[in-house]
Chains A and B, each alone.
Chain A
């Protein structure tokens, strides 16, 4: 996946605000990349443009060498939202099976794949529950599975665990890492939480405060498979954290000054 010279501006009242300025990067197949930056730096906008939800203001996005068209979602690309967008009128199983239903997959195969996902996400016994009766962490697991059940090769995640408490978040990291270890999707993960980025990613692309542009890239050469809990106790994690934190801190301060 390649992103070239991406920019985007929004109208705010009468003024034009440049949200993203000339962003270019490449993500290799099977790579886990985190987009890190202060809130409002345009990293979600980049993700929305890659997902085709937003039309780019300038530049282009190539997926496997093919240019992405606005509003034509590719079946290879899955998206997990920041807020949970589970359909409240569908049960857990019906939510997860939604993408398969759209694709016209036969009921029997659908049931089988949904059951496998429910198992994988540790949601056994909740297949027929409605989202309104689930906790935040469980809902986000269902949302993750709804995206994964169609086996996308590229997974775009927009602060998917931002609304969860620390403990639930670490649980979700383990679920995600387990799945990713097996399926090896290409992941682009937007977050403002450095420890989350370090736990999950192979590489961190850091954004500057608005207008969002790439400030720095960091390779996260922590050994895999990673354990979301013990990883944080290793000295190398600490080193990386301090180095990136310093750079991130500058952007927070810049963002605040604005």
Chain B
């Protein structure tokens, strides 16, 4: 990655500070300039940075709601964690775990299906209309059915996440398997490769480039799937935290959850991006 010039960094820092400042103090000017400051800046809707930080500490069991710090050694932190079962740490952990399983199952099953259908003209012809039909359903619309069928535990979140991811990866793998350079297959065949060896050494590696390209969106999709599942019904998770805060009219709680999701999303995408760049290093500089 190229290093950013310092003026770019400076600008980015300035924009951050400006956003935070307007967020924190902007609405104080509402009384004086009602036409200049939109109602949407009302902390009732979007909270404000200081409250969000405070709410972060409360939801994370680091402070009591009265503002006192929970001690680590005197056991206050432990007691809070035990009593408040959807605390920030548990919620994040549960959401991450379900995202991971949804991603894993979605990617692997999408890959296998895409590979099989992509390399078999007959199977792809038979299944084409079904795939098109299922694919035109907005997957999120299935979430309530899934929660109904699989309960409010973790499995319904994994399934929701899976169903969002599997199609994405399936389509990419399918396209990749269809577009394997015929010259590669001929070259392998003439060097004595069996059908199985061709699949293993030519078709799979060549399709991989397409699959990797779908991994970054797939991880975001997996997270979306889990959050939506948690909205419908869940015991734990960030999505549940958002719904609870909304019910209590606590914008700060929702904002904490959203910020956590943003951080989680950025970290996951960066990890996948790293992995992808490493695995596709053979594509050379120009491709990256």
Q: Classify the interface of chain A: helix, strand, loop or mixed.
A: loop
How long is the Cα–Cα vector from A87 to B180 in the complex, in angstroms? Answer: 11
* B11 neighbours in A (Cβ, 8 Å): none
Query: 22 pairs across A/B with beta carbons < 8 Å?
Result: A51-B190, A53-B186, A71-B189, A73-B191, A75-B192, A78-B190, A85-B181, A85-B186, A85-B187, A87-B202, A88-B283, A89-B282, A98-B188, A98-B191, A99-B191, A99-B192, A102-B192, A103-B192, A130-B284, A132-B286, A146-B191, A147-B191
**Nearest Cβ on chain A to B264's Cβ, whole angstroms:** 31
Give the CA-CA distance A81 to B282 in the complex, in Å.
21
Q: Tell me whether B184 and A85 are in contact (CB under 8 A).
A: yes
Residue of A nearest to B284 (CB): A132
Number of A-B contacts (CB under 8 A): 67
Interface string of A220-233 (1 = CB under 8 A from B): 00000000000000
Chain B neighbourhood of A90, CB < 8 A:
282
How far, in Å, is B185 (CB) from chain A's closest CB? 9
Once bound together, how far apart are the Cα atoms of A52 and B191, in whole Å? 12
Which residues 272-288 of B sit at the A interface, judged by CB distance below 8 A? 281-284, 286-287
Tell me whether B113 is interfacial, beta carbon within 8 Å: no
Q: Tell yes or no: A83 within 8 A of B by CB.
A: yes
Contact B190 A73 (CB under 8 A): yes
Minimal beta-carbon separation of A104 from chain B (angstroms): 10
Given contacts A53-B186, A73-B190, A98-B201, 11 further A-B contacts (CB under 8 A): A53-B189, A73-B189, A81-B186, A87-B205, A88-B283, A89-B282, A101-B201, A130-B282, A130-B284, A133-B284, A150-B192
Closest to A103 in B: B192
Proximity string of chain A (95-127) to chain B, C-beta cutoff 8 Å, 1 when within and 0 when not? 000110111000000000000000000000000
User: Which residues in A have their C-beta under 8 angstroms from that of B186?
Assistant: 53, 81, 85
B208 within 8 A of A: yes
Within 8 A of B (CB), among A39-91: 51-53, 71, 73, 75, 77-79, 81, 83, 85, 87-91
| B283 → chain A closest CB, angstroms | 6
Q: A224 to chain B: closest CB distance in Å?
A: 28
Majority SS at the chain B contact face: helix
In the complex, A247 Cα to B287 Cα: how many Å? 47
Residues of chain B from 175 to 210 with CB closer than 8 A to chain A in the complex: 181, 183-184, 186-193, 197, 201-202, 205-206, 208-209
**Cα distance A101–B283 in the bound complex, in angstroms:** 23
Contact partner, A102, options B181, B183, B191, Cβ 8 Å: B191
**In residues 186-245 of chain B, which contact A (Cβ within 8 Å)?**
186-193, 197, 201-202, 205-206, 208-209
Q: Please give me the 7 A-B residue pairs with the lowest Cβ-Cβ distance, nearest first.
A: A132-B284, A85-B183, A99-B191, A85-B187, A130-B282, A79-B190, A89-B282
Which single member of B190, B197, B281 contacts A53 (CB below 8 Å)?
B190
Given the interface pairs A130-B282, A130-B284, the reply to whether A77 lies near B193 with Cβ below 8 Å is no
A149 (CB) vs chain B CBs: closest residue: B191
Size class of A's contact patch? 20 to 34
The answer for the CA separation of A88 and B202 in the assembled complex, in Å, is: 10
Contact A150 B181 (CB under 8 A): no
B284: A residues at CB distance < 8 A: 130, 132-133
Chain A: which residue is nearest B209 at the CB level?
A89
Q: Are A89 and B206 in contact (CB under 8 A)?
A: yes
Task: Name the residue of chain A whose CB is nearest to the CB of B187.
Answer: A85
User: What separation, in Å, do the CA atoms of A256 and B283 have in the docked complex?
Assistant: 40
Q: A83: nearest residue on chain B (CB-CB)?
A: B183
> 0/1 per residue, A2-38, Cβ < 8 Å to B?
0000000000000000000000000000000000000
| B72-107 CB contacts (< 8 Å) to partner A | none
CA distance A71 to B188 in the complex (A): 12
Which residues of A lie under 8 Å from residue B191 when comparing CB positions? 73, 78, 98-99, 102, 146-147, 150
- Max count, chain A CB within 10 A of own CB: residue among B181, B191, B282: B191
Chain B positions 1-38 with a Cβ under 8 Å from a chain A Cβ = none
Q: Please, which residue of chain B has its CB at the minimum distance from the CB of A133?
A: B284
Q: Are B282 and A88 in contact (CB under 8 A)?
A: yes
C-alpha gap A59/B197 in the complex (Å) = 31
A151 smallest CB distance to B (angstroms): 12
Min CB–CB distance A156 → chain B (angstroms): 9
Whole-angstrom distance between the Cβ of A195 and the nearest chain B Cβ: 27
Assess whether B283 is in contact with A102, with CB atoms less than 8 Å apart. no
Q: Which residues of B contact A132 (CB under 8 A)?
A: 282-284, 286-287
Complex contact B187–A81 (CB within 8 A): yes
Q: Report the bound CA distance from A87 to B197 in whole Å.
A: 14
CB-nearest residue of chain A relative to B287?
A: A132
* Cα separation A251 to B194 with both chains bound (whole Å): 41
Residues from chain A with Cβ under 8 Å of B181 in the complex: 85
Residues of A within 8 A of B197 (CB): 102
Q: What distance in Å separates the Cβ of A74 from its nearest Cβ neighbour in chain B?
A: 9
In whole angstroms, what is the CA distance A78 to B201 when docked? 19
Q: Which residue of B lies closest to A84 (CB)?
A: B183
**A16 CA / B186 CA spacing, docked (Å):** 25
Provide the bound-state CA to CA distance between A90 and B281, in Å. Answer: 10
Among B183, B281, B287, residue most surrounded by chain A Cβ atoms (within 10 Å): B183
